[in-house]
Amino acid sequence: MAVSPADRHAQAPASVLESSVADVSLLAGLLTDKFACHLPLYRQHQRLADAGIQVSRSSLTQWTQRAIDLLRPIVEAQHRHLLQSRVLAMDETPIKAGREKQGKLRQAYLWPIYGQDHEIVFHYAPSREHRHVKAFLGEAFAGTLLSDGYEAYSAYAAQNVQVKHPACRVIEPTPREWKLRFADNPLRPDIERRGNYAAV
């Protein structure tokens, strides 16, 4: 089939990243493999090389960073919408992120915030310090904050009169619940005296 002169000189479709050959499907695959499937870029690089695709690891890193920058306004808009919820659920979970030294990964935390419209935003922080709750929720949130018993959440609510923080009923049962739950437990007197789950 002959190629017409017009087709020979046709403009390439606009790229999502300026001055880059990476298209949307490649960028989506990089981000999905890295963050959803936990496949590091060096392994993705190996997989591409095995398929005969020559691309430098530094290019993969740059494309990933630039794609994240493109998504940042979407995440920020979703976070602003999430803070309008009347009820939020928040938690913190440890992850391994980056290398601290040879043979040891650095521990960091993801702080998921779940809103009433069934949307969730994951924030990253290098630690579990109390200040991160305030940094992520700020003073914009007014409503009920659901969480586990970690004191960072109650401390945040204590400083913000527009925030209610109900006690976690699983962690803090009432005296009646103690009796019903542990009536036949041989450690019951010790549990009631100490008021915690340590002996259960």
Q: What is the pLDDT of residues 93-127, one digit of tens each?
A: 998 877 777 778 889 999 999 999 999 999 999 99
Contact 16, 23 (CB under 8 A): yes
Contact 153, 147 (CB under 8 A): yes
Q: In the chain, how long is the greatest CA-to-CA distance?
A: 91
State the DSSP code for 129. Answer: -
* Token couple for 176: 């009646």
Average predicted confidence (pLDDT) for the chain: 84
Contact 174, 192 (CB under 8 A): no
187/159: higher pLDDT: 159
Q: What are phi and psi of 122, to 5 degrees?
A: -100, 120
148-179, pLDDT tens digit by residue? 989 999 999 999 999 999 976 555 556 666 56
Give the torsion sign (CA, 47, 52, 56, 62).
Answer: negative
**Does residue 11 surpass a pLDDT of 70?**
no
What pTM was computed for the model?
Answer: 0.70
Compute the distance between CA of residue 144 and CA of residue 129 in angstroms, rounded to an integer: 21
Strand locations in the chain (E) = 87-90, 93-101, 104-114, 120-125, 143-146, 163-164
